[in-house]
Structure 1
Amino acid sequence: MSNKYSTKLFYKYYLDWIHLYKDNAVRQVTLNKYYLVQRRLEELAPNLHMNELDRQSYQKILNLYAKQHEKSTTLDFHHHLKASLFDAVDDGLLKSDPTRRAIIKGCSPSEKKTKYLNLFDLQTLLRSLNLDSKLNWDWFFYLISKTGLRFAEALALTPEDFDFEKQSLVINKSWNYKEKIGHFQPTKNTSSNRTVMVDWQLMQQFQTMINGKDPKSPIFFEKNQRIYNSTLNQKLATYCRQSEIPIISIHGLRHTHASLLLYEGVSVASVAKRLGHTNTTTTQETYIHIIRELENKDNDKILHHLSQLI
């Protein structure tokens, strides 16, 4: 077995691993993250060979990365590398797993931006939107705040995705806006293919505005039009400043939607399904602060109920 241990440079092994297991197997945005990790690995350990890789040398890489990144980002970096090293051990290229019991560090977190609005601030924002009789980007903001759709999912909406009889939207695709020539693409995962219930008033408003449009074309823009996430976020930020409420992103509207549902007592399972999360764990991790707050309220209710049992 000792003759099999690899002497290849670590960053080159990782690049080969990406080509073998990830190219044409994951979405481009995910693949880009792997290549970004590979470039950072080459910067941090340009001369480290696989046969020199052990728990100490691997920990040194993580520590160097952690000097300029928060703990959560370092953990993500670690997870990307760990997957490749598991395979290296299985293939006999490494004697043991160097990632075992790795310690994740990180620099002090930066001031966190507001991720979601409370009900009052959301209502203030929605009242500032220009919701006239023609579709515009303000309607786009309004729709996401009412449905919790991802940015790319909302961009991909076509007239045939609206089921007016059942008051629902069929989410089965997203829009690749990051390329110069945008196009439809699959949703983030299979769980993202879902049906989202919408209130009758919103459906009635959209029924009028999309009447006569190409049933298979995006409703908010022309197919040959380049869409920039940053431009629309700036537009939303302007509305927030004018309304004197915390500035949030379009993704923040999705967070706001989910947060308000949780505060209203909607189950985590139902919120996860509505957002298109793969499982409730993702939802719980994303909104743990809200869930804990609700648990404290539930505990107060439980204690109050028990005190009545006399």
Structure 2
Amino acid sequence: MEVSNMTQDVKLHQYFYQWMQLYKLDAVRPVTYRKYEMTHRQLVKLAPDLYMRELSRLTYQQLLNDYASNHERQTVMDFHRHVKSALIDALEEDLIDRDPTRKAIIKGVQQRKHKTKFLNQHETQALLNILVLDEGVNWDYFILLIAKTGLRFAEALALTPKDFDFAHQYLNVSKTWDYKSAAPEFAPTKNKSSVRKVQLDWQTVIQFSQLTKGLPEDKPIFVNTKVYNDTVNHYLERLCKKADIPVISVHGLRHTHASLLLYAGVSIASVARRLGHSNMTTTQQTYLHVIQELENQDNDKVMKHLASLI
């Protein structure tokens, strides 16, 4: 059934399925397409018998409210963006005669209490102190690398020995490892800004030049079987408990890296480039609490300076 041949007698979830296959399949990254598939499954679950002809602001708002009853607001926003995109196309194709998503209200359950997002410098040092780095390639080296570079999980998995430029002390980040797929393989980075060179400190250069010696140049360093994010997170959890510090996730190591740089006085622009953010707004929103704390410290410095003037 082609989208262009559809009538209002098609169900919403059927239209969305055809729409995402036509416009999104092979046009977005596989990991992104899986999010559209998840939205489709939710539509089937929440509105199995909702027809396109029955769509109105009222029925669409009810759909959003049902979804929001057990999801956080940001998740509801993502769901809304997916469905809205499809329905705007349906409107242009005259499959519906009005935009049912107009002025939709995004709700959601109260944000759940999340785990600690990042460690302070003392806690980070305590974690690094217990890493075992004399047994060849292991998750301890993986954890060390993310703590020192702020790489994303999939970026770190995709690293090969030839991505390291030890002479110039930097790391080439140009790909990710699609660990979620049935047949994992190299995949593009999250965005164009994610293709970057990450400067390395001399200690990390020495450690990884020794680790990668003799390894296949173009094979992932940390992948020799199917890898699961939960496996590494559970391993990191055990390390955190052993070091008697707050438990964080592997992604929390990325937050830790960025936060420590900001507290050290590194500019937001430099942190954004190092993390591979597409713009500084992402960095500012993610680390707002750190930036506000630093601004308060700056205000104190300003006041002390002005008070010293006669």
Q: CA deviation at 1:90?
A: 2.4
Q: Which residue of 1 aligns with 2:284?
A: 284
Q: Which residue of 1 aligns with 2:3?
A: none
- C-alpha separation between the residues in 1 aligned to 2:155 and 2:42? 31
Structure 2 residue 163 is matched with structure 1 residue 161:
yes
Residues 115-163 of structure 1: per-residue CA shift (max 9 Å, x gap): 1111111111110111216232101100110000111111111111111
Which amino acid in the other structure matches residue 290 of structure 2? I
Contact 1:82 1:99 in 2 (8 A): yes
Among 5, 9, 17, the residue aligned to 2:11: 9
Pair 1:212–1:71, CA change in 2 (3 A): same
- C-alpha separation between the residues in 1 aligned to 2:301 and 2:56? 52
Structure 1 alignment gaps of length 5 or more: none
Which amino acid in the other structure matches residue 307 of structure 1? A
After TM superposition, the structure 1 = structure 2 runs for residues 93-104 of structure 1, keeping only pairs within 5 Å, are: 93-104=95-106
- C-alpha separation between the residues in 2 aligned to 1:84 and 1:300? 50
Which amino acid in the other structure matches residue 199 of structure 1? D
Structure 2 residue 98 is matched with structure 1 residue 92:
no
- C-alpha separation between the residues in 2 aligned to 1:45 and 1:177? 32
After TM superposition, the structure 1 = structure 2 runs for residues 110-149 of structure 1, keeping only pairs within 5 Å, are: 110-132=112-134, 134-149=136-151
- C-alpha separation between the residues in 2 aligned to 1:66 and 1:221? 38
Structure 2 alignment gaps of length 5 or more: 1-5
- C-alpha separation between the residues in 1 aligned to 2:21 and 2:182? 24
Contact 1:5 1:95 in 2 (8 A): no
Q: Which residue of 1 aligns with 2:258?
A: 258
- C-alpha separation between the residues in 2 aligned to 1:209 and 1:163? 14
- C-alpha separation between the residues in 1 aligned to 2:133 and 2:71? 41
Q: CA deviation at 1:6?
A: 3.0
Among 193, 197, 204, the residue aligned to 1:195: 197
Matched residues, percent identical?
53
Q: CA deviation at 1:180?
A: 4.2
Residues 225-261 of structure 1: per-residue CA shift (max 9 Å, x gap): 2222211111111011111111111111111101111
Contact 1:5 1:92 in 2 (8 A): no
Q: Which residue of 1 aligns with 2:26?
A: 24
Contact 1:191 1:277 in 2 (8 A): yes
Report the TM-score when normalising by structure 2: 0.93
- C-alpha separation between the residues in 1 aligned to 2:255 and 2:162? 26
Contact 1:144 1:254 in 2 (8 A): yes
Residues 198-227 of structure 1: per-residue CA shift (max 9 Å, x gap): 1011101211221222111122343xx222
- C-alpha separation between the residues in 1 aligned to 2:52 and 2:299? 52
Contact 1:180 1:226 in 2 (8 A): no
Structure 2 residue 184 is matched with structure 1 residue 182:
yes
Which amino acid in the other structure matches residue 45 of structure 1? A
Q: CA deviation at 1:28?
A: 1.5
Which amino acid in the other structure matches residue 208 of structure 2? F
Q: Which residue of 2 aligns with 1:60?
A: 62
